Structure 1
Amino acid sequence: MGRTCPFCSSSEIDEDPSRADVVCMGCGSVLEESAIVSEVQFQERAGGHDVIGQFISHDRAQQTGLVGVPGLNRTESREVTHQRGRKLIQEIASQLRINQHCSDTAFNFFKMCVSRNFTRGRPRAYVVAACLYMVCRLENTAHLLLDFSDVTQVNVYELGRTLQLLIRLLKINLPASDPCLYILRFAASLDLGDKQKDVVTLATRIVQRMKRDWMALG
């Protein structure tokens, strides 16, 4: 029996030795994060034998020169990218009142983007906003793509194009947005007073009827 995610029970598990981590493609959870060299070899030197292929943690990988980034090795450069991505995720999440669970999941997706070079040549705000919106869709929160466009000052069409490329890269099937999620949000912004509850109830019934008649999509 194949491995499944303990968080969402998905069997879509991505194990890539080059990234040295194991990630659930269903929810973005990082199941394992370490760098292990499977073979131990010995190299003859003047002072004796040196071991090549020892276990090293992902966060303490030994230095590897990175061309074009003076003073930073490969691991340090990636960590800097992760830190900046997490900071931007927290800033956007704070403005849109997105909970910590969604922020953490978005950060996991962002790390996957970094490891697959999806961030190369793209503004960080595009990738971060796409990751956050993707999580909001998966978690059925009442956030629109336009919300992220407003906060990041990114063109909504450019953001949508980045999102489509991202879900294609990660092979994630986003559920269709449920219109009922937005009824309460929009009703609250209309300042309906005592009639808000009645309006929300009626609007919800209309949407449910439209869903039964296959009129809520497209």
Structure 2
Amino acid sequence: MSANSNDNDGDRVSIGEYEESGKCIECDAEKLTHDYERAELICENCGIVIDEEFIDDGPEWRAFDSEQRENRSRVGSPMTNMTHDKGLSTQISIKNRDGQGNPISSNKKAQFYRLRKWHRQARISDAKERNLALALGELNRMSSCLNIPRNIQEDSSKIYRQAAEADLIKGRSIEGVVAASLYIACRKNGVARTLDEIAEAARITRKELGRTYRFIAQELELKLPLSLPQEYLPRFCSKLDLSQQTQIKAREIIQKASERGLTSGRSPTGIAAAAIYISSVVCGEKRPQKEIADQTNTTEVTVRNRYQEIKKELDIEINV
């Protein structure tokens, strides 16, 4: 049965409803599968054919490695928010080689050096684009230092563009606004990065970063989820060279502490550090509080206080 087998108005309305909702028009299920051999869109739940004879907009060729993909592709790079012109302008390669891959002469090298220089200047038309190009370059540097995924970088650049369009950058440093955009994107996507880490990568103070990110989030009306201690466990345990068993135990401790209300109003990194200390002792992989504090960007006092609270409330027996 095909949802668009009849040409009446009802079927056309149904397909339009599917395009808006992304659900099956019969059973409201979201499990839809593309059958590329028959060119059909099928609901896995009820079996109805929602659409048929759709057009495959992919390439007509296949590639089995990156070299084949590069040689067979006849189009440029996809649009990206990581460049000020969204990647729509042309670029002159920095490789001093001709179309056959042979080195070019010294005279040609000097000529292409001048061409690249003029081309870079021509791509930036005004001060606004120059500011955006500098900001996105700074964002790329910070993301590289902090090992931020590509999708988070894209979100950060979107937030920075929104802040620039809303005229929120005046009176603030480029580094501060870029760092705030990066921190907001990390919070939105559940990527655990602390204010101290981002401030250090941006070479600004923690106070400036905190003030800027709160201002931008308020002006752009961004609702940021709370940072959870669990989000920091994989990275912190990796830094401390702890086993998976210790990480799982720390997660259980944090879950129980959350149920008792011990995590509300407290720093998530402090809770994570205390849970890691307790689990490392319980699992026989004890790490000193000082080492844990250094690797989690907290203080020994914070680790000790959170550790005492959790130990007392959860009635955990620890032989230190």
The answer, yes or no, to whether TM exceeds 0.5 is: yes
Is there any run of 5+ residues in structure 2 with no aligned partner, and where?
1-19, 23-80, 82-88, 90-123, 266-320
The structure with the greater share of residues assigned to helix is: 2
How many residues align? The count is 149
2:144 corresponds to which residue?
Answer: 94
1:210 corresponds to which residue?
Answer: 257
Matches within 5 A, 1:170-189: 170-189=220-239
- Cα deviation for residue 129 of structure 1 reads 0.2
- Cα deviation for residue 145 of structure 1 reads 1.2
| Partner deviation per Cα, 1:159-206 (whole Å, 9 max, x = no partner) | 1011111111111111000110111211111233xxx22211111001
Structure number with the bigger relative contact order (C-alpha 8 A, sep ≥ 6) is 1
Is 1:200 the counterpart of 2:237? The answer is no
Percent identical residues: 25
SS at match of 1:86: helix
Matches within 5 A, 1:82-121: 82-121=132-171
SS at match of 1:177: coil
The structure with the greater share of residues assigned to strand is: 1
The runs of at least 4 aligned residues of structure 1 exceeding 4 Å deviation read none
Matches within 5 A, 1:17-96: 76-96=126-146
- For normalisation by structure 1, the TM-score amounts to 0.63
2:219 corresponds to which residue?
Answer: 169
2:57 corresponds to which residue?
Answer: none
| Partner deviation per Cα, 1:2-39 (whole Å, 9 max, x = no partner) | xx9x9xxxxxxxxxxxxxxxxxxxxxxx9xxxxxxxxx
Distance 1:213 1:92 in 2: 37
- Aligned AA (1:83): A
Whichever of the two has the greater Rg, that structure is 2
- Aligned AA (2:203): Q
- Cα deviation for residue 75 of structure 1 reads 6.4
Is 1:148 the counterpart of 2:195? The answer is no
SS at match of 2:126: helix
Is there any run of 5+ residues in structure 1 with no aligned partner, and where?
7-29, 31-58, 60-73
| Partner deviation per Cα, 1:85-142 (whole Å, 9 max, x = no partner) | 1111111111111111111111111111111221111110000000001000000012
Distance 2:234 2:157 in 1: 28
